[in-house]
Amino acid sequence: MATDAGRSVERNTAQEGGPPRVVILGGGYGGVYTALGLRKAARSGRIHLSIVSRDNFFLSQPMLAEVVSGSIEPPHIVSPIRRLCPQCDFHQAEVEDVDMDRRQVVIRYPDQPHFRRIPFDHLVIAVGGSTDLSRIPGMAAHSFSFKTLGDAIALRGHLIGVLEKADVEEDPEQKGRLLTFVVAGGGYTGVEVVAEINDFIREASRSYRHVDPAEARVILLQGASRILPELDEGPAAFSHRVLERKGIEIRLNTRVAGATAEGVILDDGSGIQARTLVAAIGAVGNPLLEKLPCPRDQRGRLIVDSSLAVVGYSGLWAVGDCAAIPDTARDGTCPPTAQFAVREARRLAKNILATVKGSAVKPFAYNSLGVFVPLGRFSGAAQIMGFNVSGLPAWFFYRAYYLIQLPRLKRKIQVSIDWILELLFRRDIVHLDITRSQQTTRSHYEPGQIVCDQGDLARGFFIILEGQVEVVRELRGVKRLVATMGPGEYFGEISLLFGVRHTATIRAITPLDLLMMNGNDFTALANSSSDFRDLLGGAMRQRLTDAGVESLEEFGQQPEGEAAEHNEG
């Protein structure tokens, strides 16, 4: 629970006799469309409306995969919430807690140490789901998740960067590793992403003189016996055939057991050498739900009744992926799709207003118009009004439906223009690196894998977090084990400080987690701190003494640049 320091209460909402306070947590389909359904009431003063969201924009999630291939420009599938819902008080903040006793939401704004409390009479939980990749070794460090706009932009930049590296790579083995792309998860998201990656790589590679599109290898891993378990077997089988026809390799009944900097480890013990792994798996309940004293189902979703009210709590509602909503059209709960979330939100807005008026609420009931799955350019699979549709018509219906659902006329026009330009011109391959330089990164290695080879150019300064490594040095054609190192120990400093290549081979003995500081940041730190430099110098002299070496030149290496005068250990 948050402390009292720095708390304040939202203005104009706690006054005695004021309008009912409706607070919405989440800026996705469920939250935004609930707000849109309440905007007239907020404008007329019948309610006071607030929205709390981590991002200040609404994202059209079904179009996210097309950002990866460049079919749609990233800004065109987002809309500022403040302009969609000008009648509400918007808070770009993290939800820290929900105080059900005081009926207050505890939030924290970015880069601010203090909490703020927002009172509510009606609270809408629309926070969606979350992703947890920590259960698979190395997955979080060595894969691309695919949930946010930032994820899509980062993946697109990575794909272009891979093509740039492959174009100049002379080692066939390394080139093959660069041109292998793996997507884990054969549901909606995985199929959409793998199709867009495949189309983009095979089209973009034609602009690289030394990359043959046939060299690209795109692999989809699915733990179940077929892809797209959300669809009936017919459309799912059609989708499978289309993807294979496009050159995608599909492996069924195959799960990821681990990931490293060099590839993917499968549950049968085999591996795939690849530099690109996309994780369309790991969906879990939002951590906020665990803080609520409300009943949840086995998947961690809030249990609601047919009116979308959380069972046992007055004035508490839930909508979208974070809610287990009864599906009156079939046994079970409503699927976590944008199509259902929009309809749920519209019904919820009406039920909240009915409750405010003292009228009866109505149950949510909706028969799906269909299910759409894009399979790359000019192809898709769909079930529409009970009929199976495939190929070009399914692709067209998919685009038409989600274009209609896109908020704001401006965005509809911009996306339409993007799609027209895609038909007329090749998709862009400009690589915009807008990320800030990272001082440290984490890496995972499996036993036997090499972190760095003797003679390689220095990449960084490594600190062992978990596991053990062996240090093997080759001198005058003889290899010998120099040392083993474990958690808290480090290596790579000799090469960086003296401007020489790595003086030994470092190989993982056990599963290994490393923290790596890049060379520029390490050098800057060493130059700015005499204590740090002296500490490293002492450690290096001891290591060279233990190895019986008096000079770095005994390793047969030539110091580089101005570092030559510092070649003594």
The DSSP code sequence of 163-213 is: HHHHHH---HHHHHHHTEEEEE--SHHHHHHHHHHHHHHHHHGGGSTT--G
Report the top-level CATH class of 440-566: mainly beta
Tell me the HSE value of 106 on the side-chain side, using a 13 A CA sphere: 20
pTM of structure: 0.79
CATH 3.50.50.100 assigned to 139-281+371-424: yes
Give the pLDDT confidence score for residue 555 in this predicted structure: 41
What H or E segment, with its residue span, contains residue 266?
strand 263-266
What is the amino acid identity at position 371? V
- Residue 156 CA: distances (Å) to CA of 197, 215, 332, 368: 9, 19, 37, 32
Give the pLDDT confidence score for residue 436 in this predicted structure: 55
Per residue of the chain (569 residues), give pLDDT as tens.
Answer: 433 333 344 433 444 568 999 999 999 999 999 999 999 999 999 999 999 999 999 999 999 999 999 999 999 999 999 999 999 999 999 999 999 999 999 999 987 767 899 999 999 999 999 888 989 999 998 999 999 999 999 999 999 999 999 999 999 999 999 999 999 999 999 999 999 999 999 999 999 999 999 999 999 999 999 999 878 888 899 999 999 999 999 999 999 999 998 899 999 999 999 999 999 998 888 999 999 999 999 889 999 999 999 999 999 999 999 999 999 777 789 988 899 999 999 999 999 999 999 999 999 998 887 788 999 988 998 888 778 888 899 999 999 989 998 999 999 999 999 999 999 999 999 877 665 555 678 899 999 999 988 888 777 889 999 999 999 988 888 899 989 999 988 888 877 776 677 888 999 999 999 998 877 777 777 666 666 666 666 666 666 565 555 544 444 343 333 333 333 32
Name, in order, each residue with C-beta under 8 angstroms of 35's C-beta and a sequence gap of 6 or more.
24, 49, 51, 81, 84, 85, 88, 349
In degrees to the nearest 10, what's the CA dihedral of 81, 86, 87, 93?
40
What is the amino acid identity at position 516? M
d(CA 352, CA 317): 9
Give the pLDDT confidence score for residue 2 in this predicted structure: 39
d(CA 280, CA 131): 9
Give the pLDDT confidence score for residue 434 in this predicted structure: 62
Report the top-level CATH class of 21-54+93-130+284-367: alpha beta
d(CA 67, CA 546): 54
In degrees to the nearest 10, what's the CA dihedral of 334, 335, 337, 343?
-10
Which residue spans within 327-448 are E strands per DSSP? 370-374, 380-384, 387-390, 440-445
139-281+371-424 matches 21-54+93-130+284-367 in CATH topology: yes
The structural domains of the chain, with segments of one domain joined by +, span 21-54+93-130+284-367, 139-281+371-424, 440-566
98 - beta bridge partners? Answer: 105
Name, in order, each residue with C-beta under 8 angstroms of 460's C-beta and a sequence gap of 6 or more.
492, 496, 516, 517, 518, 519, 522
Residues across the chain: 569
- Residue 3 CA: distances (Å) to CA of 8, 60, 249, 290: 12, 36, 53, 19
Coil, strand, or helix at residue 114? coil
